[in-house]
Structures are given as C-alpha cells and as structure tokens.
Amino acid sequence: MNNPFYYVIIKWVNDMELNELLKELDTNLVIRKIEKSDKILYLYCDIDCMIVECKYCGTESHSVHSKYTRTISDLPIQNYQVKLIITVPKFFCTNEKCSHKTFAYPIPFADKNSLRTNRLDDYIYQIGMKSSSLDAEKQISGSHVSVSNNTILIIIKKSSP
Ligand SMILES: [Zn+2]
C-alpha cells in the first residue's frame, strides 16, 4: 500500500502538482480553492465531466440537474489532515424507459455515504490490523488522521475477509 508520507516530497502550495495528485483518485477531479486551518487542509473540488453514463441504464447524459456537496477525508499531506469538499453534479437521465429520472456522478474513490476515501480506509485498516485498537488510534492520530477508536473497529470489520 502507499505510504501517506509519499506526499512529503510534494510542494502542495503548487496547485498544479496538487491537482495531479488528486487525479490519482479521479481524473475528473479539479481543485477550485484551497483553505488551511491549523491542522486541516481543505481542498474544494469540482468534477470536470460533461458526459456521464447513467448508472442504472447506461445512457449517456450531459444534462446537469443539480449539484450537491460531499466532504470526504483523504490521506494526510505533511502535517495536515486533508478534507476534500467536492461539488458533485447530478444528471438527468434522458432515457424515458429508465427507472430513474436523475443520477449522481459516481464517485469512484469512496463508498456511497462514506466520509473517507477508500485509500484512507485502507491505511487505517493496515494499522488497525497490526496493533490493538487503542494503539492504532494513537498511531493514526499521530499521522494526522482524525478517526475514533470506534470507527477503526468498523473499518476493520468491514474490510476483513
Ligand atoms: Zn438511466
């Protein structure tokens, strides 16, 4: 798995490089704005995608119905927690026979309703499997990921074969 500190070599103040990094998650992801607090880097992102296939019937649509915002935590960068605040488009399905009138852009890097990217869950899982959950919580928060003991247990349970 990736070491989250591979980010260390990235000069994240350079938007272009940060954009490239986010494209590992989804090539359609584009950073619109960056904000920084003491501990958290907020990356406001758009989905740059004009045509999407309806996930129910496969018909292509370029007709945007609405947009909503989703906040998803990602792997840390240097000493910062990372939160992606993504404006997600919803499209009309133009196929009259389709069972759905609209569908949301399918985010490929996080489970439906998840507050974390899959790669962040993988990271938490790897540490959680190696140590007791209390040690894991300490270790994970030491690496600038905010996650509760309870969430660690849920991720281990979900990811275990
Ligand atoms: Zn459809």
Q: What is the pLDDT of residues 24-65, one digit of tens each?
A: 899 999 988 888 888 899 999 999 988 999 999 999 999 999
Task: Quote the ligand 1 centre to 55 CA distance (angstroms).
Answer: 7
**DSSP symbol at 150:** H
Q: What is the pLDDT of residues 99-141, one digit of tens each?
A: 999 999 999 999 988 999 999 999 999 888 888 777 888 888 8
* Confidence (pTM): 0.83
| Contacts of 125 by beta carbon, 8 Å cutoff, 6+ apart | 155, 156, 159
Alpha-carbon gap, residue 112 to 125, rounded angstroms:
18
Task: Quote the ligand 1 centre to 87 CA distance (angstroms).
Answer: 21
Alpha-carbon gap, residue 84 to 118, rounded angstroms:
13
Map out the domains of the chain as residue ranges. 4-107, 116-161
**Strands annotated E in the chain:** 29-36, 40-47, 52-53, 60-61, 64-77, 80-92, 102-104
Task: Quote the ligand 1 centre to 88 CA distance (angstroms).
Answer: 18
